[in-house]
Chains A and B, each alone.
Chain A
Amino acid sequence: MDGTLGLLGGIHGGADGGGGGDGGGVPSCGSILTNSKEDDTMNDQDMLAEVSSSYPVDDDLELGLGLRIGGGGSNAIQEGSRILRPNSCSSSSSSSSVNITNSSIAGFKKSAIDSVSPPNAASVVGWPPIRRAHRMPILANRIKSERKEYSSRAKSYLSVKVNMDGTLIGRKVDLNAHNSYETLARTLENMFYGRLSNTETIGRSRLLSGTSEFVLTYEDKDGDCMLVGDVPWQMFVSSVKRLRILRSPKSRNCI
């Protein structure tokens, strides 16, 4: 055998594969792989763009490349063929599993994948090389962190309606923007300025101190009309459904 690898000249056999790294001419069949060979530092993304363009855009694609051959029944949903989409995260994790390994899907449905995972390591089939059994923690982690994100996002904006006696048009206030009754009361006073009092309040809000002709109440989870200020702030936030500013003498007649 030619120990020098034929680098000094032609090699027997004559099969010229288009040059491993020689950067030779592009073979005539235009296969997707030739492009990636010409420049081995080429971005995986470019390779994927090539791959996706040569595949039919099909829903079947999602079920995996190899499924049309062999495999039957329930085995056909090859684990390696599902995509993890953002909205599928909340479904049970035990039966579905992550596939961030089908390069053609990744290339084509990049937007779906990108929102879940970044390019490069995630867009390459079978990389990083992790056996199926060890991909479960990854999925579990992903679901955990996305749930956390989702629920923390949900908590970040909690708005309740505020209605004031004698005013037709109600307002809305974001309770999560406050962390005490004081700030809430001030905000409400600002919202309904002019009706609550004709003078600027200094010091403690008059709504809370009971010196105003109005009183601040809320409707809780049970539908009862309660005076604002009795319970700790957090507990209040977790049970309040809406706020009402009522005229003092009528405060007993909620509804």
Chain B
Amino acid sequence: MVYSLPEEVLEHVFSFITLDKDRNAVSLVCKSWYEIERWCRRRIFVGNCYAVSPSIMTRRFPEVRSVELKGKPHFADFNLVPEGWGGFACPWISEMSRAYPWLEEIRLKRMVVTDESLELISTSFKNFKVLVLSSCEGFSTDGLAAIAANCRNLRKLDLRESEVMDLSGHWLSHFPNTCTSLESLNIACLGSEVSFSALERLVGRSPNLKILRLNRAVPLEKLSTLLCRAPQLVELGTGAYSSGIRSDVYSSLSKAFLGCKELKGLSGFWDVDPSYLLAFYSVCSRLTSLNLSYATIRSPDITKVISQCPNLQRLWVLDHVEDSGLNAVALSCKDLRELRVFPSDPYIADANVTLTEQGLVSVSEGCPKLQSVLYFCRQMSNSALITIARNRPNLICFRLCVIEPRAPDYLTLEPLDVGFGAIVEHCKELRRLSLSGLLTDRVFEYIGRHAKRLEMLSIAFAGNSDLGLHHVLSGCDGLRKLEIRDCPFGDKALLANVAKLETMRSLWMSSCAVSYGACKFLSQKMPMLNVEVIDENGSLDSRFDSCPVEKLYIYRTVAGPRSDMPGYIRTIDRDRVNTIS
């Protein structure tokens, strides 16, 4: 006799299970659990919008409240994915507007969103609360105006790093006077001015506003006005942070910051005038997150600020921080979890900035909780990497960019194989790794052997032969995303690890040595993969089998080949392959 708990009880139990992984496991237990689970799943995350179709999603999960989608491959951030590639949000939004009238949250990353879609969002979902458009493009301030005007209960509007066509700054005025629900507003990416009076009024009538990220066009003189209206802010992104030398601006700013007792995160700081840095000193002791990556201030000024922030957990800064600044971080910021150091001018051979591998070594020594690193520098050594690995076995994300491609260990002139090998060997929980510098197949051997938890790997200008890629594909059990550029990897490794590709979300290879014929073969062998070949240079039809493909994007999918590609992209169609050969 099989016991069976009533549906309501099971549903209640399932409501405590939030991770997708666990939800998926629940749905596999038996048919009835599958049914109950699919009716009560409220959040969907689709890491590759082409892996599944909108209708498949809505058919299986009818009562969703929150959808998150990602479109273009990560390398699109660096202009490696050509214009028009895809990632169109429109079909998703159309389908969701039909199927999910109670949808509350939409989060899109690297997708193309149109004003029409935004308008559709604003009118289709009565209870719409959260819109996050991360690195998206294709829409204008008109679309934003529609969102502002029609979403009565909007809580979060976050445009982080999207490319928005700035038609008018008045879209902000479309928020009705009755809209008081705003909790988070991020307009930092907007190029032109928004109507300040509208902004001020909006901020003033939003008592729950916790996150406000302004754009560069908001002048420093007006910042204190906003802060006084929103002393409850937890995270603030300033606009331009300079204003000539005006003591009245300084003092009112200082006072305003003093009033923000909840402030924990600061960002913005375009065009910083160092004399205004002291204005937020009162906040420093509480700061857990500080983003100075747009601030071209020098090391002494940065150091002064950082030394006042003992509770800092996240620090983003330019290489102006220099080794001396990072030493200060190592001394003062014992709670640091995440460090990102961006290059101020990577294109000149000899920068005027003393940021070396030493800075990172210091931080790895001094900050016991450091788990996430993004570091651009001009020189690196194996010994430094080994030291970092030994100091910080708790690293989860390690992205190192030695600016010169194929730069060797500057002390020994050897490849950096051993250094990165130490990283993967010691940091057993490493989930994300980006490599740079001179690297041979050996580093991939280490990675395949040790990096068992690795989920995302970025490779550039590395390796000697297919053996390198083979090590990675055969060794990294948890690998989900692999992106490779300018490496001498060809067909052999791919064809030897075909099954692996179905266990991954996606594989990107550009300027490598994979042949068109291999792509055809892969596509034939693996019907669950879309093998997309990108070739802007010439006609895809006239490709010989032996020709190398320019760019290759392989991803698993249940939706079949997509039909929204521009002419220079082709999904190697299995049927076509059969007729040609």
Contacts and interface: CB of A to CB of B under 8 A. Distances in A.
Interface stretch (B40-48, B176-184, B495-503): B495-503
B513 A20 contact: yes
A17 B533 CA distance: 14
Interface stretch (A5-13, A149-157, A195-203): A5-13
Contact of B78 (A5, A36, A130): A130
B79 A69 contact: no
Nearest to B499: A1
Interface string A131-172: 111101110111010000000000000000000000000000
A49 interface: no
Contacts of A99: 79
Centre residue among B404, B406, B548 by max chain A CB count within 10 A: B548
Interface in A93-138: 94-95, 98-102, 116-118, 120-122, 124-134, 136-138
Contact of B294 (A14, A31, A117, A136): A136
Nearest to B500: A1
A130 B343 contact: yes
Contacts of B512: 20
Interface string A1-36: 111011100011111111111100001110111101
Contact of A20 (B78, B403, B491, B537): B491
Given A65-B82, A128-B343, A142-B345, A75 B138 contact: yes
Contact of B404 (A11, A16, A120): A120
Contact of B348 (A70, A80, A117, A132): A117
A94 B84 CA distance: 24
A107 B394 CA distance: 43
B161 interface: yes
A140 B271 contact: yes
B157 interface: no
A66 B517 contact: no
A3 B520 CA distance: 21
A210 interface: no
Contacts of B216: 94
B496 A66 contact: no
Interface string B339-372: 0001111111100000000000000000000000
A105 to B, nearest CB: 12
A75 B163 contact: yes
A64 B401 CA distance: 26
B266 interface: no
A2 to B, nearest CB: 5
A121 B405 contact: yes
A140 B467 CA distance: 43
A242 interface: no
Interface string B420-434: 000000000000001
Contacts of B82: 65-66, 69
B191 interface: yes
Nearest to A113: B347
A142 to B, nearest CB: 7
A138 B474 contact: no
Given A17-B513, A20-B492, A67-B83, A40 B550 contact: no
Given A20-B466, A128-B401, A12 B495 contact: yes
A27 B80 CA distance: 24
B79 A3 contact: no
A179 to B, nearest CB: 27
B515 A17 contact: yes
A54 B137 CA distance: 30
B116 interface: no
B544 A29 contact: yes
Interface in A182-217: none
Given A6-B492, A6-B496, A36-B511, A15 B78 contact: no
A44 interface: yes
Interface string B264-305: 000000110000000000000000000001111000000000
A17 B517 contact: yes
Contacts of B499: 1
B495 A126 contact: no
B466 A5 contact: yes
B460 interface: yes
Interface in A64-90: 64-67, 69-71, 73-75, 78-80
B296 A137 contact: yes
A41 interface: yes
B102 interface: no
A167 B489 CA distance: 79
Given A34-B548, A69-B566, A134 B495 contact: no
B344 A141 contact: yes
B496 A11 contact: yes
B197 interface: no
B543 A29 contact: yes
Contact of B547 (A29, A120, A129, A132): A29
Contact of A121 (B404, B469, B489): B404
A16 B517 contact: yes
A98 B163 CA distance: 15
Contacts of B75: 126
A240 B443 CA distance: 66
Interface string B486-529: 11111111011111000000000001111101101100000000
Contact of A79 (B163, B492, B497): B163
B79 A80 contact: yes
A131 B543 CA distance: 33
Nearest to B524: A13
Contact of A3 (B406, B474, B537, B567): B474
A28 B544 contact: yes
B546 A29 contact: yes
B515 A71 contact: no
B491 A31 contact: no
Nearest to A123: B347
A15 B520 contact: yes
A8 B469 CA distance: 17
A249 B520 CA distance: 99
Contact of A33 (B80, B463, B511): B511
Given A27-B544, A29-B543, A126-B75, A21 B488 contact: yes
Contacts of A241: none
Contacts of A31: 537, 547-548, 550
A21 B550 contact: no
5 contacts: A20-B488, A29-B543, A66-B82, A125-B78, A131-B135
Interface of A: 1-3, 5-7, 11-22, 27-29, 31-34, 36-37, 40-41, 44, 54, 64-67, 69-71, 73-75, 78-80, 94-95, 98-102, 116-118, 120-122, 124-134, 136-138, 140-142, 144
